[in-house]
Amino acid sequence: MKTVHISKVQALTLGISSITVTGHLLFIPVVLNHAGRDCWIALAAAAAPALFVGYMVASFSKLYPNQSLVEYVRSIAGRWVGTALACVFLFYFFHDAALSIRGFGEFFTAAITPRTPILVYFAAIVVLAGYAVRGGLEVLARTNVLFLSIMIPIGLLASMLTHKEKDYANFLPILERGAEPVLMGALNLIALYSSFLVLGMVFPNVAEPAKLRKWSVVTMGILLVMFIGPVTGPVAVFGGERSMGLSFPTYQMLRDIQISGLQRLDILAIFLWSLGSFSKISLYLYAVTVGVAKLLRLDDYRFLVAPTGALLVIFSLMLGDSFMDIYSFLQNVYPFYAALVGLVLPAGLLLFAQLRRWTKKERRAAG
* pLDDT higher than 60, residue 238: yes
Q: How far apart are the first and last CA of the chain?
A: 39
The mean pLDDT of 91-106, rounded to a whole number, is 94
Which range, of 15-24, 84-93, 153-162, averages the lowest pLDDT? 153-162
Q: Output the CA–CA distances (angstroms, integers) from residue 323 to 108, 109, 221, 336, in the order listed.
A: 12, 10, 31, 20
For residue 6, report the phi and psi dihedrals to the nearest 5 degrees. Answer: -125, 165
Q: Contact, 193 vs 53, CB < 8 A? A: yes
**CB contact burial 104-136 (16+ within 10 A = b; e otherwise):** bbbbbbebeeeeeebeebbbebbeebbebbbeb
CA proximity to 291, closest of 160, 58, 133, 111:
133
pLDDT tens figures, 76-93: 999 899 999 999 999 999
8 Å CB contact between 190 and 301: no
- In 3D space, the residue among 356, 348, 66, 346 whose CA is nearest the CA of residue 212 turns out to be 66
| Cβ–Cβ < 8 Å for 154, 272 | yes
Question: Taking 60 as the threshold, does the pLDDT of residue 240 lie above it?
Answer: yes
Confidence (pLDDT) at 265: 65
Q: Of the ranges 102-106, 125-129, 130-134, 261-265, which one carries the lowest mean pLDDT score?
A: 261-265
Collapsing DSSP to helix, strand or coil, 259 comes out as strand
pLDDT of residue 320: 86
Count of alpha carbons within 13 angstroms of residue 278, beta-carbon side = 22
